[in-house]
């Protein structure tokens, strides 16, 4: 006989007091800490506890008693369901304060290293339509809102194009209008949806691994170029004909698309890094421009998704590197060589290392396009490439710039950096928590001189952070 689960409580007249991690807010009832989504400090609410642990619980609002004077009206009709821009109800100035505090808390609590006073966070130039890349999924099982479920309506059409819902990998929440990117992307996505529904194209079922339409990626650039990549699962000649007819329709409807691509994906997931990309029309890339430099961006390339703010981020990195033209610079996790090429004009030589071979090829092209001759790029796993032998062959770096993924740097990489003993390390991070962990490992030889938070993603809890480390003086 199974034990009856105790009903979780309703908490009444609770005041939200603080911003918490992952876009949630925080309240306290007696000794219990409560995390609540889609609220702001000053809201007074009734809460339904959904998950209870020993020292904290998670809850959702069932009634707003009083709205905070800090609250602002979200710009998006999908707010509260989509989950992508959880801070839309919080004024941007308050978002920046929370991100500044987040960086300080994580560096001090996790890193436990001596810190200077943090520089004020650099806010984003744009707070809407700031992204240059978005991805949308197709599904034959759309997410139903609470209101739709409660209505008891049976929906004959469950196809959807939109974003994945957290905790429901097989369901897609349909998006009508997203404010994160130029509005043309909404017109492209909705046109594909309407054409697919009108012409009875099948939407993907991730559980059954069936369906023609899987995923789409849309990119644009400050050179006014657009890229669209559609992922299909092509099992028959008829599937291919349907896909090509759709692609031709989109090409005719949107001449702004300069790079129209597709992938035939039979894998269990929508990653396509290991799959060939076919060009249906135009080129296999677009270009971004930054400070007079041109950067080739392909479908597999990493490029900062907030173009204007990327310039400010890289400018900070270059400033902190304090280059005089005499330095050998190692640019770790170089991607398409954006930072490497951006700083090359002020360095003697820049060596870039990156895991993705296609990105390295783009990095080489970017150097060639911009007539930069003092860069050298290598592809491979960082911990395998950056070794003592590599440094002996290519020279001891004066400056290391590192911009790792969210997981931070491998311990082998950190140890190699310590042995390389550069004068300065500029650490660009998209995750201050893992950055803090790595700073602790570097603390035996390096001190933190400058901390500069940079906001790349308004209305989200994510924040970039740039740290300058300098070699400690030996006595």
Active site residues: 430
Q: To which H or E segment does residue 363 belong?
A: helix 357-369
The tokens for 9 are: 């409580």
CA angle (438, 434, 40) in 5-degree steps: 145
**b/e per residue, 155-183, with b = 16+ CB within 10 A?**
eeeebbbbbbbeeeebbbbbbeebbbbbe
The tokens for 365 are: 């092209």
Pick from 195, 205, 190, 189: which is nearest to 243 by CA?
A: 195
What are the DSSP E strand ranges found in 309-435? 328-332, 349-354, 375-379, 399-402, 424-429
**b/e per residue, 2-17, with b = 16+ CB within 10 A?**
eeeeeeeeebeebebe
CA pair distance 44, 23, nearest whole angstrom:
18
Question: What residue spans of 115-255 are helical by DSSP H?
Answer: 146-151, 184-198, 237-253
């Amino acid at each position: 006989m199974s034990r009856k689960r105790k009903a979780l409580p309703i908490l009444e007249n609770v005041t939200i007091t603080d911003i918490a991690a992952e876009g949630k807010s925080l309240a306290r009832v007696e000794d219990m800490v409560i995390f609540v989504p889609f609220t702001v400090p000053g809201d007074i609410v009734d809460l339904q506890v959904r998950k209870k642990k020993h020292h904290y619980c998670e809850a959702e609002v069932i009634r707003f008693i009083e709205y905070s004077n800090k609250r602002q009206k979200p710009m998006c009709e999908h707010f509260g369901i989509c989950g992508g821009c959880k801070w839309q109800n919080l004024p941007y100035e308050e978002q920046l304060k929370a991100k500044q505090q987040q960086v300080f808390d994580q560096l001090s609590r996790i890193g436990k290293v001596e810190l200077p006073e943090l520089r004020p966070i650099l806010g984003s130039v744009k707070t809407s339509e700031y992204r240059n890349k978005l991805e949308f999924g197709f599904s034959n099982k759309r997410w139903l809102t609470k209101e739709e479920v409660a209505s008891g309506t049976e929906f004959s059409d469950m196809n959807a194009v939109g974003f994945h819902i957290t905790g429901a990998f097989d369901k897609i929440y349909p998006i009508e209008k997203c404010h994160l990117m130029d509005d043309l992307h909404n017109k492209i996505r909705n046109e594909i949806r309407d054409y697919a529904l009108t012409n009875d194209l099948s939407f993907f079922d991730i559980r059954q691994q069936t369906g023609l339409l899987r995923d789409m990626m849309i990119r644009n650039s400050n050179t006014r170029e657009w890229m669209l990549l559609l992922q299909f699962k092509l099992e028959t000649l008829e599937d291919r004909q349907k896909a090509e007819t759709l692609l031709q329709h989109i090409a005719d409807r949107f001449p702004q698309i300069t790079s129209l691509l597709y992938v035939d994906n039979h894998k269990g997931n929508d990653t396509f890094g290991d799959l060939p990309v076919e060009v249906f029309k135009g080129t296999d890339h677009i270009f971004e421009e930054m400070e007079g430099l041109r950067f080739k961006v392909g479908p597999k390339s990493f490029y900062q998704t907030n173009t204007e703010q990327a310039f400010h981020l890289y400018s900070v990195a270059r400033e902190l590197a304090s280059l005089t033209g005499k330095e050998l610079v190692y640019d770790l996790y170089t991607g398409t060589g954006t930072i490497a090429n951006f700083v090359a004009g002020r360095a003697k030589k820049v060596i870039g290392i990156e895991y993705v071979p296609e990105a390295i090829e783009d990095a080489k092209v970017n150097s060639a396009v911009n007539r930069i001759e003092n860069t050298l790029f290598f592809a491979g796993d960082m911990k395998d490439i950056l070794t003592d032998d590599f440094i002996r062959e290519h020279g001891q770096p004066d400056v290391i710039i590192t911009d790792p993924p969210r997981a931070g740097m491998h311990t082998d990489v950190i140890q190699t950096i310590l042995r390389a003993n550069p004068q300065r390390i500029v650490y660009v991070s998209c995750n201050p928590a893992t950055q803090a962990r790595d700073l602790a490992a570097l603390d035996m030889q390096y001190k933190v001189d400058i901390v500069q938070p940079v906001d790349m993603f308004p209305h989200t809890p994510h924040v970039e952070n740039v740290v300058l480390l300098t070699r400690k003086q030996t006595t």
